[in-house]
A and B are shown apart, each in its own frame.
Chain A
Amino acid sequence: MSAIPEPAQRLAPQARWAWRLSWAGGCLVTLVVFGTAGGDLPGPWYGIGMAALAVALVAGTVAVPELRWRRWRWEVREHEIDLQRGIVVVRRTLIPMARVQHVETERGLIGQALGLATVEIHTAAGSHAIPLLRDYDAGMMRARIAELARTDDG
């Protein structure tokens, strides 16, 4: 019923691996910290902590990135940017081109390794990100949004 069609573009397929890597990295750090500091914990707490960590590792590397990637959709149209994402909370955001102040692309460590970049769109009320696009696409998109935002000055 909504007059605006749903966004159709997806993130780069490698995005799933970027999320997996960063999540696994986080788990590893937690494991090291917990393993060294948690040994003194009373009773079963050490075991419970370890089990929770294992569950988090499996869920965060197997299921969540896949779901997240499937849910993420975006579209850049002439007059607006349309984002839809989220597993537990499905959120759709519309940003009019006239409100875009500037656009950035950003590549983290993992992003560089996998050739992925995040596009950040700044408005006067805050910023929105389209994460982990292919490097080339992200650059194109930054240029395109900047171009559209300029011509559609509000």
Chain B
Amino acid sequence: MASRLHPAAIAVYAVDALRQGAFPLLVILGVSVLGGDFDADAAIRAGMFALLGTAIAALAGGFRWATTTYSFAGETIRLRTGALSVKEVEIPFARVQAVDVEQGPIQRVFGVYKVEIQTGGGGSGGEIELGALDEREIEGLNRLLRRGAPEAALGEEHPPAPERRLSGRELAVAAVTSGQLGVLLPVAAGVAQMSQQLFEDPLEGERTLIGALPEGTLGWIVLVAGIVVLAWLLAALGTVVGFGGFAVRREGDELRIRRGVLQRRQATLRVVRVRAVRVVESPPRQLLGLASLRVEVIGHAKEQAAAQTLFPLLRREQVEPFLRELLPELADALDGLAAPPPRALRRYALPPLVGTIAIAGAAALAIGRLWPLAIAPLGAIYGALAYRAAGWRLERGRLAVRSRRLARSTVLAPAAGRESHDLAQTLLQRRARLADVAFAFGKGTVARIRHLDADVARGLWAAIGPR
């Protein structure tokens, strides 16, 4: 029994077609308008083209809707689309790894949703995409997939589902602290250096100020500061748009995540596919005692590159209670980790220090002044922070690994869920009896702890057997 999509799909597909044809259409429009003098004739011609384009798109949308059907046969979901070239996709229920529900602007007008059904393989995007389904149809689909069998699709009472919403205040804090620090820091450092240069030489006074700096330095500073503020505002805006209305709910063995202001999205994750939780504390958030939570989900093709956000902002001490309530399978304490041995400290500090010294030296040579050398020690400070952040724990099969790149991040996961794990030792580490251990939990999450005592590292590596 094959069914069509909601008729709203006609509009969805028509807009798709229009979008695909938009560029050539615009070119035609432009040529027809600019080709002659712009008069009433040209305007009418342009209008005709636009109308024609829309009509063709509507026709294409209708055709696509009429030739697209989906059905459930036995234990599989099947999609058939097209008439001239027919494409059929069949996915066994057991292979369905995630069902993503999204509502774009057009779907919103009709009160329908776009559904993407994901399997483990394949590239990004759902292996089956259903452009428009209403809520009843989605509920039915979810029921089928949950049971794994169409016969069992009768109602069942769930215990009250734990849910956590992002409050307006939390969203505001998340937005303010979301600045892309990776971009901002060097710019901010540059501004600081320049202003230092401007004001730190009071003896020679104005002469230095004017003589040593290119004209318009103040203008440059204002410009850079403007860029910083703009980048920060954009990041904040992105956070509000992306995470507005964020809510996560635990239903049985699934997590339902809803988010988005303009583009409302809902994703359903199976808990068995969640391999690791990552607690990320970016520097501004760490200062405020805040963290965001991400999950590594296996076989979720769309989010392969970056793990998915489980919750955008939490107080650090709330992380464990939050996980106990919504994801007890992976809940664990954030603290009480074992650090690498003290002799590892200089190995953390030295490589970044060499890097910053090289950069500072090159900069100083290039402009023939000494002040860039002031950034040289930054590498050592960074290395020391990375050393302080590093830690690990393995208790009853639960692994916790903390490390720092720019943000401090703690990976919590059952060790048995890793895809592979590594023990690595460079020649230098061998002399110092140190080694690295790394656990890969997915494409987006590798928990690595550097410069452990070699015996400890070997023990940790071996403690996680093949099981």
Contact = CB atoms under 8 A, between A and B. Distances in A.
| Pairing of A with B | yes
Interface of A: 1-4, 77, 79-80, 86, 88-97, 99, 101, 123-126, 128
A1 B460 CA distance: 11
Contact of A94 (B120, B425, B426, B466): B466
B146 to A, nearest CB: 21
Contact of A124 (B299, B423, B430, B455): B299
B466 A77 contact: yes
B250 interface: no
B327 interface: no
Given A90-B430, A124-B120, 20 more contacts: A1-B459, A2-B462, A3-B465, A79-B466, A86-B424, A88-B427, A89-B425, A89-B426, A90-B425, A91-B423, A92-B461, A93-B423, A94-B464, A96-B418, A96-B420, A97-B466, A99-B420, A124-B299, A124-B442, A126-B420
Contact of A79 (B298, B455, B458, B467): B467
B311 interface: no
Contacts of A91: 422-425
B442 A90 contact: no
Contact of B421 (A1, A2, A94): A94
A45 to B, nearest CB: 19
A2 B458 contact: yes
B467 A96 contact: yes
B446 interface: yes
Contact of A80 (B299, B425, B466): B466
B271 to A, nearest CB: 15
Given A79-B467, A88-B426, A3 B419 contact: no
Nearest to A94: B421
Contacts of B445: 125
8 contacts: A3-B462, A89-B425, A90-B424, A91-B425, A96-B420, A99-B419, A126-B443, A128-B420
B441 interface: yes
A1 B455 CA distance: 9
B456 to A, nearest CB: 11
Interface of B: 120, 298-299, 418-427, 430, 440-443, 445-446, 455, 458-459, 461-462, 464-467
Nearest to B462: A2
Cβ-closest 9 pairs across A and B: A125-B419, A80-B466, A79-B466, A2-B462, A125-B440, A123-B419, A91-B424, A95-B420, A92-B423
Contacts of B446: 125
B415 to A, nearest CB: 11
A4 B419 contact: no
B298 to A, nearest CB: 5
Majority DSSP secondary structure for residues of B touching A: mixed
A27 B52 CA distance: 60
A125 B462 contact: no
A96 B466 contact: yes
Contacts of A96: 418, 420, 466-467
Contacts of B459: 1-2
B443 A124 contact: yes
Contacts of A124: 120, 298-299, 419, 442-443
A97 to B, nearest CB: 7
B461 A125 contact: no
A2 B421 CA distance: 14
Contacts of B441: 125
Contacts of B424: 86, 89-92
Contacts of A89: 424-426
A101 B301 CA distance: 14
A73 to B, nearest CB: 13
A123 B462 contact: no
A19 to B, nearest CB: 20
Nearest to B273: A124
B443 A93 contact: no
Nearest to A82: B466
A95 B442 CA distance: 13
Interface centre among A1, A2, A124 (most CB of B within 10 A): A124
A80 B464 CA distance: 12
Contacts of B299: 124
Contacts of B455: 1
A93 B467 contact: no
Contact of B465 (A4, A86, A123, A126): A4
A126 B419 contact: yes
B426 A93 contact: no
A95 B425 CA distance: 18
Looking at B419, B427, B459, B467, the one whose CB has the most chain A CB atoms below 10 A away is B419
Nearest to A90: B425
A5 to B, nearest CB: 10
Contacts of B440: 123, 125-126
Given A93-B421, A94-B420, A95-B419, A125 B426 contact: no
Contacts of A126: 419-420, 440, 443
Nearest to B455: A1
B120 A101 contact: yes
B420 A93 contact: yes
